[in-house]
Amino acid sequence: MHRALAERYPGAKCELEFTTPFQLLVATVLSAQTTDVRVNSVTPALFATWPTPADLAGADRAALEEVLRPVGFYRAKAASVQGLAARLVEVYRGQVPRRLEDLVTLPGVGRKTANVVRGDAFGLPGITVDTHVGRLSRRFGWTTQEDPVAVEDDLAALFPTRDWTPLSHRVIFHGRRTCHARRPACGACPVARDCPSYGVGEVDPERAAALVKGNAEAGLE
């Protein structure tokens, strides 16, 4: 199933735009309960105004909240990113730590965010269990668990370490484009023959193909 996903999404990668580990860390915190597209629309102005952890830690809260308003929950997110920036300055000399144990001590950062940063900023293996990875892993029969940490453990036992980061990206791509929560496009799914949940969505190939988002990127056009 992973090979089939790799063939369908050869360019699967983190869809948040960043150039430094700090930028990815902040962007991932901001991505909670919103889209990567929405986050990418605000981060250029955010990092142009406050480019370093020290700058962000000292930002005027009202000005920061105004920049973050489009991503939703902007007051809570402003508090989180300003808090994590302050901790980076106070504890880590302004550098984003690589260890998961250190990352999860930062305000607003859990295992999901930590694994994104480790995998995409530092090239370290990690399984990112967001809503897509959790949902699809259960549909695929890879786990029966609901708790993200338990899902992460089950997938870690199934796949070699080298596959953890690319697997996460491919499953997320598949969840966003084909295996939707409410109406999966089963008839256009590359893992249909191996999926125990085949049939929960649209099985007619033509109608299923119409449900796929980003058809050109997925190789369906």
Mean pLDDT along residues 143-168? 97
Whether residue 24 is predicted with pLDDT greater than 90 in this model: the reply is yes
Does the fold of domain 21-121 match that of domain 2-10+128-218?
A: no
Q: Which two tokens stand for residue 130?
A: 């967001």
Residues 184-218: tens digit of each pLDDT: 999 999 999 999 999 999 999 999 999 999 744 43
CATH architecture of 2-10+128-218: Orthogonal Bundle (1.10)
User: In 48-60, which positions are buried (b, 16+ CB within 10 angstroms) versus exposed (e)?
Assistant: eebeebeebbebe
Q: Which two tokens stand for residue 179?
A: 């295996």
Domain ranges within the chain, ordered by starting residue: 2-10+128-218, 21-121
Report the share of the chain in percent with pLDDT over 70: 97
Q: How distant is the alpha carbon of residue 75 from its chain centre? A: 21
Q: Which two tokens stand for residue 75?
A: 């007051």
Question: Could you tell me which CATH class the domain 21-121 is placed in?
Answer: mainly alpha
Report the share of the chain in percent with pLDDT over 90: 96
Report, as residue numbers or ranges, the catalytic residues. Answer: 112, 130
The beta-carbon contacts of 13-17 under 8 Å, at least 24 apart in sequence, are 13/120, 13/169, 14/116, 14/119, 14/120, 14/169, 15/40, 16/40, 16/43, 17/43
